[in-house]
Amino acid sequence: MNETQKSTKTGSVVTALRAFRLLRVFKLAKTWKRFELLLETMANTLKDVATFSILLFLFIFIFTLLGMELFAFKVKFNEETDQVDLEGGTSPSVNFDSFLNSFSLVFIVLTNDGSSDIYYKLYRTVGAF
């Protein structure tokens, strides 16, 4: 081992030990009752948020699979004419063609971040149900 590898390894160990200094904050909870109450409230909130997050992930997962079933490889446009072209066209940047793209598209629609353009493109290609 040369000198730079030794100093890098030693530096990372020291950095890891410094992280344990952050745990001293929890030592204060023993003496400050209001701080202890605050930490308990935060822990209870994290439990509730975890349950909601699992439910939200399940919701997004189900609608991702549903979107892939209904719209996969059905949204393609000709770049030059901006017309629907399912054989030679290209898919828009957000689409239901893969799981990752579909998952991100469902998240975009859920947060309502530019979802009107997505709705319009799907309506143009698939039509009304």
* Residue range 10-19: mean pLDDT, rounded: 72
pLDDT at 5 over 70: no
Beta bridge partners of 77: 84, 90
Q: Is 71 within a domain?
A: yes
Q: Is 10 within a domain?
A: no
Three-class DSSP category at 26: helix
Q: Is 58 within a domain?
A: yes
Q: Is 60 within a domain?
A: yes
104 Cβ partners below 8 Å, 6+ apart?
A: 94
* Residue range 114-121: mean pLDDT, rounded: 79
Q: Is 36 within a domain?
A: no
Q: For residues 90 and 100, give the distance between their C-alpha atoms in angstroms, rounded to a whole number.
A: 18
User: Contact at 8 Å (CB) between 105 and 94?
Assistant: yes
pLDDT in tens, 50-93: 989 999 999 999 999 999 998 888 888 777 776 777 777 777 77
Mean pLDDT across the chain, nearest whole number? 80
Domains identified in the chain, total number: 1
Query: Full-prediction pTM beyond 0.75?
Result: no
Q: Is 11 within a domain?
A: no
Q: Which two tokens stand for residue 73?
A: 């490889």
Q: Is 24 within a domain?
A: no
pLDDT at 24 over 80: no
User: Contact at 8 Å (CB) between 77 and 93?
Assistant: no
pLDDT at 128 over 70: no
